[in-house]
Chain A
Amino acid sequence: MRLEISSNRLRNEFVAKVIELSGQDINLCYQCGKCSAGCPMSFVMDLLPNQIIRSVQLGLADDIAKSRTPWLCASCLVCTVRCPKGIDIACVMEAVRQIALRRREDFIDPAGLERDTVAELPAIALVSGFRKLTG
């Protein structure tokens, strides 16, 4: 189905929330794609980082909600330090994650991790993983 673009969509609640939580001016992005070009995790992403930003620009909340990309972002900040417009893309990803996590939509279930896995993983991995992927 054709996507209808309107002021209602472009200014929807989701866009406002992403801007508020990330503190980033999404409209600065001119879609050069440098964030996606350097992203170390893009090979497992369904949407590239620039497509996430584009989806925010167009107010496509549902597409972002369905995407695994924000959860696969490792917050390595390569996109952030190389963005020609100074947008902190990693912050936008965090905002998108936070919107889901605050609705109690966790990406992983800590209780479901194998005992051996938990024993093998260093504390730094478990704490950071839970901090990023659960609410």
Chain B
Amino acid sequence: MRLSVRVVKKALVIGGGVAGIQAALDIADGGYQVILVEKTPSIGGHMAQYAEVFPTLDCPQCILTPKMVDVGQHPNITLLTYAEVQKVSGEVGNFQVEILQKARKVDHTKCTGCGTCWQKCPEKIPSEYDAGVADRAAIYIPFAQAVPAKAVIDTEHCRYIKYLDFMESGAEGKKPPQCRICERLCPAGAIYWEQEDEIITEQVGAIVVATGFDLMPVERLPEYADDPDVIDGIQFERILCPGGPTAGVVHRPSDGKTPKEVVFVSCAGSRDPEHGVPHCSRVCCMYLAKQAMLFKHAVHDGQTHIFYIDTRTTGKGYEEFLQRTMAEGTVYLRGKVSRIYRDGDKIKVMGVDTLSGKQVEVSADLVVLGMAMLPSIGSQELADRLGITTNEQGFFTENHIKIDPLESTCPGIYLAGAAQGPKDIPDSVAQGSGAASKVLGLFARSEKTPEGLTVS
């Protein structure tokens, strides 16, 4: 007797960053159906936030946006944004998946993405896409190139939703305003207050997990101060981005002044078991060098200082890039910073340069912390739902770290990108394609024997 299951030739990709996008496109181009689930209102992931990317200084919008558009238009891809995988059962070749489509309160069959609503919405909330350096409205698309370019209403912050909740609760006191400005102004009549969360059930044969990373919050390093001018790497990407909230003109958050002395701190959290992160985050050496370079291109008389323990530049063209940053005048100070605090207009950075054997201090205008890369928030819960394992830091574990890095510990569930461990863009894209090829290999067979079962 042969125990086998019919392979459902449809794939689920979880996470719409560059790794997930690549995996979805490659599977779809191979002729199979793909459902791409992304929890935020747009695909693009962290890469869409970056100013320019190392080592070639491409504009990520230029190289990523076409792929995003391809995903949006691909006949084989069903894109579910603002959605999360809730439940998974079954096994390789035949998984049953429940996906929560969060209520957008906007009818996407009508919304044209014209922008009237988000321009007029009176509510202002720190923008996730701009990493808090700019605000967004309660009805919004995360960024101009969003896919889909259709609005969602943030029900936690929408004034009218608050009004409805207030009325329903029967609470006493002052009523929130019955705003509904978006509804009044929407030329397409797309606002849809009655829309509720929805559960979508799907059957798929394979799953690619590409849920990426989040940065360790700055607050976990209390010695590096809680100050508006001490920011993380993604925040500085937004400030440097020509298409960002400051149009690439560098202002510091506290007072809008152009910073002159900028300090970058690498290994902020990484390689620091006492702060719970023993690993190297792999990208900080390069992106801090790149940010120092971009800053000097933007502020010609600016001075950049990078505190580092070691420089790790193992990618193609990376070491050359780092040396160019040094040649262009960025000072590399070898040592970890002990303390950062505000002193009047300046941010004091108390460090060391072990090469000269000197304790050093820099009076900075702006400090950028190269915070550790951690698995994206919620990935542990997802691992539990998928029945796959994670390492101590929460990154998904591969079936074999060397010879089977793309398959998880569960057959039919594959890994791609930073969800498996800190990774740069080229490696994430390569893993996206690699995971896709594993899926295509599975789909090339009509039946699959579930592993672990005795076949006679």
Instruction: Give the interface of A toward B (CB within 8 A).
Output: 30-39, 42-43, 47-48, 50-51, 78, 82-86
Contact = CB atoms under 8 A, between A and B. Distances in A.
B273 interface: yes
A37 B337 contact: yes
B359 A82 contact: no
15 contacts: A31-B354, A32-B271, A33-B351, A33-B353, A34-B338, A36-B335, A37-B350, A37-B352, A37-B360, A38-B339, A39-B359, A48-B357, A51-B357, A82-B339, A84-B336
Contacts of B339: 37-38, 82
Interface residues of B, number: 22
B359 A48 contact: yes
Interface of B: 223, 267, 271-275, 309, 334-339, 350-354, 357, 359-360
B352 A33 contact: yes
Contacts of A37: 335-339, 350-352, 359-360
A36 B354 contact: yes
Nearest to B267: A32
A43 B361 CA distance: 12
B354 A86 contact: no
B156 to A, nearest CB: 37
Contact of B352 (A50, A78, A83): A50
Given A37-B337, A42-B359, A51-B357, A32 B273 contact: no
Nearest to A35: B338
A33 B359 CA distance: 9
A42 B361 CA distance: 13
A33 B272 contact: no
B303 to A, nearest CB: 20
A84 B337 contact: no
Given A37-B360, A50-B352, A82-B339, 17 more contacts: A30-B309, A32-B309, A32-B336, A33-B352, A34-B352, A37-B350, A38-B339, A39-B359, A47-B357, A48-B354, A48-B357, A50-B354, A78-B338, A83-B274, A84-B272, A84-B336, A86-B274
B371 to A, nearest CB: 14
A84 B351 contact: no
Nearest to A79: B338
B274 A84 contact: yes
B351 to A, nearest CB: 5
Nearest to B349: A37
